[in-house]
Structure 1
């Protein structure tokens, strides 16, 4: 019986905030709570992976946001502002589609963080980058409220959630290095 209760308590946030194409109203209130951070998959960028000849820092060699993706990011940024979410920092993968998503949100200065770079197609190491991101999370103060813009693989490695393009996963990071998923915010 206790095992079933424990399973329910672990799965309840995932059930309550499951992907349904919309944001549950309580997700916004959860995001406002102290110690709640967000990790976001970049907005819509047609295609899969990156083309041959990919070069970091050269957007012409990468899969980039579509105009729809740019609109998604702007709409999400507006929704975040309208909800009164006050971020203390925004970090992004160095991939152009992530940097562009973060900038299109118009929520503040965007800083590149290599721990958020994609490791899809052998471009990095899941374990090393997730550990580097957790080390970064451990440096945050209780007053910080950070948004991380990254890729599906990075989000899944950190949270266990497979996000849609432009989806935000809300989480807390414990002093013991544990991630607790609290909710999900869909692009409006």
Structure 2
């Protein structure tokens, strides 16, 4: 039994270096019974400069070449999972928008509920409640991908995703969301 599990794990790593989720988890995403929430692709550093502006990407921490490539690879991977058409929501931070746009899955919609509260946690609980309400009101049966930040994803799920890592969450969300899979960032 141990040998079988080791072989299955090795096969799951696949040629792309991604830990492939159980196919039924991707079925659930395609059918709108689960969603993907992804931490933005690699952007060196932590947080943002003290006087950053949400309307000026030059003042923010941004994706580097590795992050842009991760984003492109995520788009390829999502299409291979049958998500060539999905509703994509993102934080308004440039690194999140650039990640979502790098997927090349169509129109990206800005969603303030996905904005980082790393530097100001005063309204974090209210923001997470608003995000939960938004997710609960999503149309049934449509694939959804959200791009956000570590602090937001941790607050929502209790999980600590790495840069560019995705979590597949069962819908509807419970108080402690059901994690169907973790998929690491594509290798650079």
| Large movers: runs of 4+ above 2 Å | 20-29, 85-88, 173-178
Report how far residue 107 of structure 1 moved.
1.2
**SS of 1:157 mapped into structure 2:** helix
1:32–1:85 contact (8 Å) kept in structure 2: no
Cα deviation digits, residues 70-100 of structure 1 (max 9, x gap): 0011011111112212443100000000000
1:25 counterpart = 2:7: no
2:94 alignment partner in structure 1: 96
CA distance in 1, matches of 2:122, 2:115: 8
1:23–1:184 contact (8 Å) kept in structure 2: no
1:140 counterpart = 2:113: no
TM-score, normalised on structure 2? 0.83
Q: 1:175 to 1:60 in 2, by over 3 A?
A: closer
Between 1:103-112 and 1:83-92, the stretch displaced more is 83-92
TM-score, normalised on structure 1? 0.83
CA distance in 2, matches of 1:49, 1:134: 24
CA distance in 1, matches of 2:151, 2:174: 23
Report how far residue 115 of structure 1 moved.
0.2
Report how far residue 39 of structure 1 moved.
0.5
Contiguous gaps of at least 5 residues in structure 2: 1-8
How many aligned residue pairs are there? 170
Contiguous gaps of at least 5 residues in structure 1: 1-15
2:39 alignment partner in structure 1: 41
CA distance in 2, matches of 1:175, 1:43: 24
Between 1:162-171 and 1:122-131, the stretch displaced more is 122-131
Report how far residue 65 of structure 1 moved.
0.4
2:42–2:70 contact (8 Å) kept in structure 1: yes
1:91–1:149 contact (8 Å) kept in structure 2: yes
Report how far residue 22 of structure 1 moved.
4.8
